């Protein structure tokens, strides 16, 4: 519609996955580095998560476009399939054609393929997009495939791609055997305002001959505020904006044009799915309100009120010193996380690691952590810089973290990032589950400052 007017050869903000439009923002570069490192090290399972439209698939596709020559890659997009169909799809991607299509024949043929590639000194990697949509039986089949190995190393590496809830699935009881095999995970973050500007400029330049349309700073600001830095939302508002700019024959996009595009997008009628979702949420809220009123009625019937309920004596735990300093040879005075001290920047309540013990709201008593015996490991790195970057990210969220070094059996030094001290393993596991489920972080409970 507007291609000729703007001097474009193709639509720059299409929703299709085209690696040539890939923009390596900071978070996407980090995801690529995680993939490159994990594949080179032969990690079994790798997890890439991010909000819907954040660029997970595009990033992984960009990785598959220019892999190492010693790496064979298959990319499996979601479709309704059982374990047999999944294995058949993987074999098709690699050009494997067994005479019979039974699950055993497919498995044997794939195993032979893996052994052949290993003899050639090559690695085999399978990317599974939208992994959260698959049934537990299909995900279990992936775990079984990962059992194909030699006495020294894995023959197959699997990259699972999905939204943050995929972490919750892998941490569930049924899929825990699979979740425990995820050794490297990364969560994509949204673009910053400056990265949003670079994203828009890059896509227009790729779609045309030079920059033929310009976005004013006020327009970029409104696009960023509307999209929250999510590429998919940036695409939708930019597409609508260019249509309006073309309508008014204007090659300079103003904030007013973007505002009109945003208003148009917001006025669109909800899809049937969105309407159904809204109704479900409304029913859920109503049920929660009724449940809360019932609980209140029981409490009042028993004569227990906040005034006569036994009070719990809470003891504050001092916060550790800043971890932005070099921690290679330093141990903090205290490793506990203070969530109560006035004047401190508090983390998002949904992400808090509850180091104040059992909560009164749940009818439980506080447990004072007098012995520092367990900590939560949220990362292990070969480079000190990566460990410090992880600590900086945790500090921004309100978590005090530290680095603990260890030497593996091969004599290699690793820098692990730890948070918290706990008097019992159970409390540490409870907090680790919260952190793993809500932040997409690989959290492992270990004895404090030991591997």
Q: What is the pLDDT of residues 242-282, one digit of tens each?
A: 999 999 998 889 999 999 999 999 887 554 434 444 444 45
Return the H-helix or E-strand segment holding 418.
strand 413-422
What does the pLDDT look like over 299-315, one tens digit per residue?
454 444 444 433 333 33
Mean pLDDT over the full length of the chain = 76
- pLDDT higher for 227 or 450? 227
* Residues in a beta bridge with 72: 124
Please write the tens of the pLDDT for every residue from 377-387: 888 877 877 88
Q: How far apart are CA 47 and CA 158, in angstroms?
A: 9
Tokens of 112: 């032979």
Check whether 192 has a pLDDT greater than 90. yes
Distance CA 1, CA 246 (A): 9
With beta carbons less than 8 A apart as the criterion, state whether 216 and 252 touch: yes
Q: Look at 209 and 393; give whichever has higher pLDDT.
A: 393
- pLDDT of 422 reads 72
Is pLDDT above 70 for 175? Answer: yes
Residue range 147-160: mean pLDDT, rounded? 82
Reported as a single tens digit per residue, the pLDDT across 91-143 is: 999 999 988 889 999 999 999 999 999 999 899 999 999 999 999 999 999 99
Q: What is the mean pLDDT of residues 155-170?
A: 93
Largest CA distance in the chain: 76
- The whole-number pLDDT of residue 149 equals 72
pLDDT the model gives residue 431: 75
pLDDT of the residue at 286: 59
Query: Residue 115 is inside which H or E element, if any?
Result: helix 103-119
**Encoding tokens for residue 181?**
């095999």
Domain topology for 349-447: Alpha-Beta Plaits (3.30.70)
Question: Collapsing DSSP states into helix, strand and coil, what is residue 447?
Answer: strand
CATH assignment, 197-266: 1.10.8
pLDDT of the residue at 70: 86
pLDDT at 242: 94
Average pLDDT over residues 171-191: 91
- Please state whether the predicted TM-score (pTM) of the whole model is above 0.85: no
The band of 334, judged by pLDDT with boundaries at 50, 70 and 90, is very low
**CATH fold for domain 26-187:** Rossmann fold (3.40.50)
pLDDT at 391 over 90: no
Q: Is the model's pLDDT at 322 over the cut of 70? A: no
The pLDDT score that the predictor gives to residue 159 is 96
* DSSP result, 161-225: EE-THHHHHHTSTTTHHHHTTEEEEEEPPPP-HHHHHHHHHHHHHHHBTS--SEE-HHHHHHHHH
Per-position b or e across 381-394, b if 16+ CB within 10 A of its CB? beeeebbbebbebb
Which pLDDT value is given to residue 81? 77
pLDDT at 335: 36
Entry field: residues in the chain: 451
Residue 184 has a CB neighbour count (10 Å cut-off) of 20
How many whole angstroms separate alpha carbon 353 and alpha carbon 335?
A: 13
Phi, psi dihedral angles at 158 (to 5 degrees)? -125, 130
């Amino acid at each position: 519609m507007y291609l000729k007017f703007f001097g474009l050869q193709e639509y720059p903000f299409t929703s299709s996955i085209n690696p040539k439009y890939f923009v390596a923002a900071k978070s996407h570069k980090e995801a690529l580095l995680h993939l490159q490192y994990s594949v080179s090290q032969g990690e079994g399972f790798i997890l890439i998560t991010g909000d819907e439209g954040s660029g997970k698939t595009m990033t992984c596709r960009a990785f598959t476009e220019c892999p190492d020559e010693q790496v064979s890659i298959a990319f499996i997009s979601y479709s309704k399939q059982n374990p047999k169909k999944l294995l058949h799809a993987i074999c098709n991607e690699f050009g494997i054609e067994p005479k019979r299509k039974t699950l055993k024949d497919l498995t044997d043929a794939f195993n032979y393929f893996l052994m052949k590639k290993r003899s050639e000194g090559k690695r085999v990697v399978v990317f599974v997009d939208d992994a959260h949509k698959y049934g537990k039986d299909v995900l279990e089949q992936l775990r079984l495939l990962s059992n194909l190995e030699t006495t020294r190393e894995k023959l197959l590496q699997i990259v699972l791609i999905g939204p943050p809830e995929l972490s919750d699935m892998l941490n569930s009881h049924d899929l825990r055997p699979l979740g425990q095999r995820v050794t490297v995970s990364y969560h994509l973050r949204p673009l910053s305002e400056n990265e949003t500007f670079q994203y828009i400029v890059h896509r227009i330049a790729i779609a045309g001959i030079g920059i033929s349309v310009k976005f004013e700073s006020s327009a970029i600001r409104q696009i960023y505020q509307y999209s929250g830095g999510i590429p998919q939302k940036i695409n939708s508002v930019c597409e609508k904006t260019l249509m309006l700019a073309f309508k008014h024959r204007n090659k300079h996009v103003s904030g007013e044009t973007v505002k009109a595009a945003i208003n148009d997008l917001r006025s669109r009628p909800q899809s049937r799915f969105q309407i159904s979702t809204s109704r479900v949420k409304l029913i859920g809220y109503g049920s929660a309100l009724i449940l809360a009123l019932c609980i209140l009625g029981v409490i009042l019937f028993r004569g227990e009120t906040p005034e006569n309920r036994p009070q719990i004596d809470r003891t504050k735990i001092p916060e550790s010193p800043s971890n932005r300093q070099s921690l290679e040879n330093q141990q903090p005075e205290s490793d506990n996380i203070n969530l109560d001290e006035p004047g401190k920047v508090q983390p998002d309540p949904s992400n808090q690691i509850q180091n104040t013990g059992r909560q009164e709201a749940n009818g439980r008593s506080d447990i004072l952590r007098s012995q520092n015996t367990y900590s939560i490991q949220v990362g292990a790195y070969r480079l000190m810089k990566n460990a410090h970057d992880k600590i900086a990210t945790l500090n921004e969220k309100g978590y005090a973290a530290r680095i603990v070094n260890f030497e593996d059996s091969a004599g290699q030094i690793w820098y692990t990032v730890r948070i918290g001290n706990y008097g019992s393993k159970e409390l540490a596991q409870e907090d680790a589950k919260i952190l793993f489920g809500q932040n997409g972080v690989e959290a492992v409970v270990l004895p404090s400052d030991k591997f």
